[in-house]
Structures are given as C-alpha cells and as structure tokens.
Amino acid sequence: MNLFSRTRHAVTKAALGLAAAAMLFSFSTAHAQAGATIHGLVNDATGTIVKQGEVRLTTDHGGEVKDFKWTYTAPLDNNGQYSITGIKPGDYTAFVFQGTVAADYQSVTLKDGDNKTVNFDMTREEYMKTLSPERLKEVEAFKAKNAAAQQSNKVVANLNATLTKVRADLAAAAKNRDDVSQDVTDMKSAVAAKPDESILVIELGNAEQAQGDHLLKADKAAGKVPQSDDDLKQLYADAGAAYQKGIDLNAASKKPDAHLQASASNQLGNALAKEGKLDDSAAAFEKAATVDPTNAGMYYNNEAAIFFNAGQSDRSLAAAEKAIAADPKRPDPYFIKGQALLSKATEVDPKTGMIKALPGTIEAYEKYLELAPDGPQAPTVQDILKGLGQKVETKYKAGKK
C-alpha cells in the first residue's frame, strides 16, 4: 500500500469512528427524551375544580399510603390541571393529595411515548360510593346551594338586561313623551322577580311616571281634563309609591347609596307635584338636598320650579334663594327669582308709567343673562329688562363648560 493509500485508509477509519460516535450520541439523546406523559383535570365530589393540591405517582401497591414512595409529583394550577412528563414505563397508582389527605386515586399503566389524559372526577359513581353518609349530605347540600346560586346569577343577568333596555326606552321616549306601557310591564315583572332590589323598584317608578306623562300629553291633545283621568292619576300615585319604597329599601340595605336615594326623592317630588301635592313634593326635594348636599342646588331649583308653575311666588322665591345659595352658578333660579319678584311688584313710576321693580329683580335677571346668555329664557329676560327701562347688556358670553 502506498503512502497515499495508507493515508486515505486512516482518514476513512477516522471518519467511520466519528460517524459511530455521532450515532451513539444521537441514540443517547433520543433515549433521554423518551418516557411517558400524563395530564388532566381534577374536580371534587361537588363538581368544583380543585385548585390546591398535587398529583403523585407511585409504584408501591401495598401497605399504608403514608409509607409509599412517590416517584413523580406535580402541583395543581388555578385551573385544576396538572402535567407530569418523562415518566418511566410501568404500572403506577396516581393519587390526588389535598394537604396530607389522599382524596382520590387511579391505577394507570404507562408505555414509552404515551401521552395520556387522566382526569380525577370525584363525582363519578364509584367514588361517590366511598363517601360517608355525612359527607354525602354535605355534597348534596353544596350542589343545591350552587344550583341556587347559578339560578340567581341567571336571574340577575336577565334583570340587568331588562334594566338596560328600559332605561334606553325611557331616554328615547322622554322628548316626545311616547308610550312606554311595555316598559312598565317589563319593570313590574323585574320587581316581582327581585322585590328587594331598590334600583329595580325606582326604575319602575320612572317608567310609571313616564307613562303618566304620555297620558297627560294625550289628554291635553284630546281636550280632556287630566284630573278626570283615573288611569293618569293612578300612574303618578304608583310612581310615587315605587320611589318611596325604593328609597326605604336602599336606606335599609347593607350599602346605602345616598345619591340613589336623593335621585329617587327628586323623582318623587316631581311625581307628587303632578298629583297636585305641592307640600309633599317640596318635602321630597328638601329631603333630596339633605341627603345629597353636593347637588342641593338642582333639588332646590326643582322645588322653586314647581311652586313657580303653580303661581305661588312667595314659595318659589324662597326655594330659588336656597338654590342660589347652594349653587350660585346655576342660571335658572335667578330667572325664577326675577319672575317671583316681578309678580309682587305693584307700584308704577308716575314719570315713566313703568312698573317699579322690587330690589333684586334687575340683578336677578342680569345674573341669568350673565350665566346663560344663550339660555332658553334669555329672549324673555331681555324683553323684561327693556320693559323695565333697563339697558340690556350684550357683552355676556357663555362660560366654559
């Protein structure tokens, strides 16, 4: 063999040796990755997912569980699931442990490469037969309670959907005072399903008052005297009763909501005013202002408005003054104040032939224009001021909102 041949032979042997080594390495790697995998879900006898505990595997099959040696262990996650990989082939017993208690077990045979799902469903018949009578009673009681909770959740979901729909309907119907009789029916059903929920009762009152407004509009269009409409009177009375019940329920609840109570009192004031019960209406607005002082200006303004509309200037003036004191930036009370003072003016200036405005009248009107230069009453206020011989200020600009 020449030198070239010997060299080529040596290189070939070396290459073969490297290939063998590579094959050996490849085989060793594949063997290291072999084994079996098991995974699954654990739930207890009530059907509830078990989130705390672990699954253990053992090849011991006799004696006391406390003496077993555990070959593999995996914790349960928050979804009640576990997974164990790289398990050597063999016959195992898989246990679910909760603390030191072996809650459940199953036998499982694993072959190399297996990927088995092994769920521990403690509601299965063979497991339930192992429970003591006392434990069975506990399980059944829990199931009944859980079923009731699920039913309650379903009812609440349906009621929330009804509440959302009715609120949307009332908002859409408010401008033209459209018929909302179906919403009244829906809210009555909602209250019947959960009569102790103040929000539902109050919303029933809103629906009844809105339907009353619809009938009032229809009566006026037909030339019918509203006071002779028994259905109309009943709707306003029912609305008032619903508001009061809602207020009482919320006040007695574990978490009273002052704003909700005040809002309901405000609506109660409106409903009572439509019944002609002005004293009771005023008391409701006063209660709202007391319960929710942050929005007292709005409640006192509503009180001033109902007396103004009823032609009771002294009472409207007193309420307007309270509204201004509570919220000096609200324009409407100044208009009501000006109107109330103007209605009380009786003296005529002999030189001009114009009514002599009482002190505070001009200032009230001017303040309204300052706060609401483009407000709905601005044209009326401007005409009144001109009629009183006043130069109307035109430099007012609407304030930033």
Delimit the domains of the chain by residue range.
Answer: 1-33, 36-127, 132-290, 292-401
Q: Centre a 10 Å sphere on the Cβ of residue 270 and count the other Cβ atoms it contains.
A: 20
Task: Please give the Cα distance from 267 to 246 (Å, whole number).
Answer: 11
pLDDT of residue 260: 96
* Per-residue tens of pLDDT for the chain, all 401 residues: 333 333 334 333 333 333 333 333 333 333 444 799 999 999 988 888 999 999 999 999 888 888 999 999 999 999 999 999 999 999 999 999 988 888 899 999 999 999 999 999 988 888 888 888 887 887 788 778 777 777 778 888 999 999 999 999 999 999 999 999 999 999 999 999 999 999 999 999 999 999 999 999 999 999 998 889 999 999 999 999 999 999 999 999 999 999 999 999 999 999 999 999 999 999 999 999 999 999 999 999 999 999 999 999 999 999 999 999 999 999 999 999 999 999 998 887 777 777 788 999 999 999 999 999 999 999 999 999 998 887 776 555 554 44
Closest CA to 241 of 302, 288, 188, 279: 188
Q: Which residue in this structure is represented by tokens 């509601």?
A: 123
From 3.90.1150.10, 1.10.1200.10, 2.60.40.1120, 2.40.50.140, which CATH number describes the 36-127 domain?
A: 2.60.40.1120
CATH 3.40.640.10 fits 132-290, yes or no: no
Residues 93-127 as b or e (16 or more Cβ within 10 Å = b): bbbbbeeeeebbbbebebeeeeeeebebebeeeeb
Domains 132-290 and 292-401 share a fold: yes
Q: Quick check: 267 and 206 in contact, CB under 8 A? A: yes
Task: Please give the Cα distance from 1 to 27 (Å, whole number).
Answer: 36
Task: Please give the Cα distance from 270 to 261 (Å, whole number).
Answer: 14
Class of domain 292-401 (CATH, top level): mainly alpha
pLDDT of residue 132: 81
Q: Centre a 10 Å sphere on the Cβ of residue 371 and count the other Cβ atoms it contains.
A: 19
